[in-house]
Structure 1
Amino acid sequence: MNYRSLSDLNAAARELATELPDSIDLIVGIPRSGLLAANLLCLYRNQPMTDVDGLCDGRIMRSGYRYDGHREFEHVDHVLVVDDSVDTGRQMQETKSRLDEHDFPFEVSYAALYVSTHGHRHVDYWSEVVSKPRFFEWNLLHHPMLKNSCVDIDGVLCRDPTPEENDDGKNYREFIRTVDPEIVPTERVGWLVTCRLERYREDTERWLDEHGVEYDELVMMDLPSKAAREEREDHAAFKAEVYERTGATLFVESSPGQATEIAERTGKPVFCYEANQLVSPGTVARVQTKGNEYLSRFASDPVAFSMRAGQHVLSKGTDVMSLLSHRYRDD
């Protein structure tokens, strides 16, 4: 499973911006997510941009994000039409067909930040080949792959209850009935998997229906009380069993600790919604191995290692140990 975040998208745009020919004068984005890719490219190249409608109507977006509203292509020789990703090429081909109907007085090229192993045939430039199966941060809960995915509820579709709300009684039932959704998937979910108890099924189903969440199956813990659930302490084990039994290809989990344990138990990828990170099987083992390696390097040359480590943190801005620090969090 391949995953790319918005941060990855930015890095891909920055790389592609340096590789594009200098002859390009205008960046054109294909709605919707292609607009984000085009915006990043035009910022890195300090060039104007527009969308496909704007190109056809003769509108260029200038500084201040205002359209000039008249034709001003006299000095444009080369236009680049951009999408965030290309797989089958259907949308790119539709865009090409539309633009071919216009007798533009300039060259038109096509690009995508990400292409599949076949998608590169539909563009002139790209930044990276990302093979399928794949998903992106900006379309995760709006992707058809949800049909074969398990998705957590608390911490993903809605916030987690506060300690006061999580009383396994009146307050908790009120939380389930009234909590606002944080995101509503626009595709049907295969399995909603939650550690909420079966006694709250009716309230949960009503909430899902009220907010338009479509799903095939709602899987809940069949235990008599919150105390019984806490005594077993098997939240991740329960979710891992469902993940394996259903044959789903992805689990979207809120808790970093549970995400790591589910991946370890099933040997399958888990997307941690809170950490915005894809957790692959063996993550903890790899982090521990790296930790031992870093300790060895530090022991041999503390000053040199500290300098290199500081430079790495500044350039990457990531903390690979975050999953370990959350591993046993029970939320």
Structure 2
Amino acid sequence: MNYRSYSDLSNLIKNKIPMFQSKNFDLIVGVPRSGMIPAYIIALHLNKKCCDVETLINNYPLKTGSTRNAKNDIKYPSQAINILLVDDSICRGTSLANELSKIPAELKVKITTLAIYSSERERSDVNLYLEYLPMPRVFEWNIFHHNVLERSCFDIDGVLCIDPSEEQNDDGEKYIEFIKNAPSLFLPTGRINCLVTSRLEKYRPETENWLKKNGIKYNSLIMLDLPSKEERQRLGAHATHKAEAYKKLGLDLFYESERNQAIKIHELTKKPVYCVDTNEMFTKGSIYSAIYGSSGVRKSAIFNMIKTLPIPLYKSLRFFYRLIK
């Protein structure tokens, strides 16, 4: 499962700014909705005006902020000479083709098309792309609204709703009250294949009522069949319970809130796990990601430490690093 975050998107565009500068675009147009994100990033870096396809087609006045003026004095899209039409990604090319079909011929000849991510290395349906990113893939901006939900497992606490506080997590009346009224967090658009939670089976009625109240669609709900919170903590079965269900179901992605559990689920299943808390996707390179991720140490420090090891051990580690990377 290939994954790209807003940070990845921003850094990729930033590294390509010299290429954008060389082409002298005077208007950046985004394909709604996801194409507007990279379109605005590019436009802000270049200090050019930006709009959506509807504004381009109807020649509505171009808007700009009051803090700085764009480099050109274009007031209307029709005044643009060199237009960049941007979408976040391209796979079959249908969405971009549909947008282009709406645009009048006199404007279309001014347009260069760009997709940030392409599912193919070679293609003729877009003029430019910035990175080859094969399927399957998801992005930070669509991961809760992608059709991968149909083939995914979801944790509940910390993903669909907030985590209970220490006081609320009493395995009693306070916890029941929390389950009934927990504030929602990330609410997916589509149907989830399976919810896999460490909540105890005895809280199924309250959990199902909360899911219904918040409009969350799912096929099944797997809970821990243990008598108490103390027994659950004694067994430390959180990640193992989730991993076993994920593996048995044969699904493609697990959404987990807690980082250590996400890493453990991936290690046990060898399957992709998305950590909601840290915005990380653990896949084949999970050991690399665990070391260099948001809560790890800096890469340079690790490399400097490794270089002090005996040569045979150093070579072995270097080989392993290249293998997983």
TM-score (structure 2 length as normaliser): 0.85
Relative to structure 2, which stretch is displaced further, 286-295 or 230-239?
Answer: 286-295
Corresponding position of 2:130: 127
The 2-side partners of 1:29 and 1:203 are apart by 44
Deviation at 1:105, TM superposition (A): 8.2
Task: Determine whether 1:174 maps to 2:177.
Answer: yes
User: Which residue of the other structure, out of 289, 300, 304, is the alignment partner of 1:294?
Assistant: 304
Corresponding position of 2:4: 4
Q: Which amino acid aligns with 2:259?
A: P
The 2-side partners of 1:83 and 1:210 are apart by 35
**CA 1:167–1:137: 2 relative to 1, 3 Å:** same
**CA 1:53–1:255: 2 relative to 1, 3 Å:** same
Kindly report which structure 2 residues correspond to 1:141-290, keeping only aligned pairs within 5 A, or say none: 141-281=144-284, 283-284=286-287
* Alpha-carbon contact 2:59-2:78 (below 8 Å) kept: no
Q: Which amino acid aligns with 1:241?
A: E
Deviation at 1:11, TM superposition (A): 1.2
The 2-side partners of 1:285 and 1:96 are apart by 41
What RMSD over aligned residues (CA atoms) do the two structures have, in Å?
2.5
Q: Show structure 1 runs of 4+ deviating over 6 A.
A: 288-292
Deviation at 1:283, TM superposition (A): 2.8
**CA 1:281–1:222: 2 relative to 1, 3 Å:** farther
Task: Determine whether 1:92 maps to 2:125.
Answer: no
Corresponding position of 1:72: 76
Percent identity (aligned): 38
* Alpha-carbon contact 2:56-2:77 (below 8 Å) kept: no
Q: Which amino acid aligns with 1:17?
A: I
Show structure 2 runs of 5+ residues with no match: 69-73, 293-298, 311-325
Deviation at 1:13, TM superposition (A): 1.8
Show structure 1 runs of 5+ residues with no match: 301-331
* Alpha-carbon contact 1:82-1:112 (below 8 Å) kept: yes
Relative to structure 2, which stretch is displaced further, 103-112 or 222-231?
Answer: 103-112
Indicate the SS of the match to 1:146: helix
The alignment of Structure 1 onto Structure 2 pairs a total of residues equal to 296
Corresponding position of 2:64: 62
Corresponding position of 1:47: 48
Relative to structure 2, which stretch is displaced further, 190-199 or 6-15?
Answer: 6-15
**CA 1:240–1:281: 2 relative to 1, 3 Å:** farther
Indicate the SS of the match to 1:121: coil
**CA 1:165–1:297: 2 relative to 1, 3 Å:** same
**CA 1:36–1:16: 2 relative to 1, 3 Å:** same
The 1-side partners of 2:276 and 2:119 are apart by 24
* Alpha-carbon contact 1:86-1:119 (below 8 Å) kept: no
Indicate the SS of the match to 2:274: strand
The 1-side partners of 2:305 and 2:7 are apart by 29
The 2-side partners of 1:285 and 1:129 are apart by 21
